[in-house]
Amino acid sequence: MMATASKFDLTVTRVSDTELQLTREFDAPRDLVWKAMTEPALISRWWGPRKYRTVVDEMDARPGGKWRMRNIAADGGEHAFRGEFREVVPLERIVWTFEYEPLPGHISVEEMTLTERDGRTLLTVRNQFSSKEDLEGMVNSGMESGARESYERLDELVAELNQQNIA
């Protein structure tokens, strides 16, 4: 069963020629959003557009730990992503590197911060790119629509988890 559409939407802001900021609010407490963002079995339920199945190959959420995920299309085609955790403050913040494997060497640094207010969680993501061209490449890849759909799916998942906690 699919949850109803959220009244919250993704906001994408160009902070500079090499930095993007994404913000999205979730109608769920921070601990549930954190859980959904760090547990592989839950990540696979929301990360990436609906047309893909997501496989979490590695998720070692600690400084120096590695992560790798793949979006797999119905025809078997894959898009793989990887990185390394630089900082993890449970329930509050993750800093990791982000690399699309078919374009090695184009690594961005992503900082995700979770702030809880009145039972809701604000996710703020700052992406720092190595160059203006890398930022433009990410934007032109359809990143915004993919992020929007992923966060809609995350919203549905945390609503489900929140309901389970209440029941």
pLDDT tens for 70-111 read 999 999 999 999 999 999 999 999 999 999 999 999 999 999
Q: Residues near 140 by Cβ (< 8 Å), separated by ≥ 6?
A: none
Q: What is the pLDDT of residue 156?
A: 96
Taking the C-alpha atoms of residue 91 and residue 85, their distance in angstroms, rounded to an integer, is 15
* Diameter over CA atoms, the chain: 49
- Quick check: 115 and 96 in contact, CB under 8 A? no
Q: Please report, for the chain, the start and end positions of each structural domain, with discontinuous segments joined by +.
A: 11-166
What is the band of 165 on the pLDDT scale with cuts at 50, 70, 90? confident
3-state secondary structure of 30: helix
- Domain at 11-166: CATH architecture: 2-Layer Sandwich (3.30)
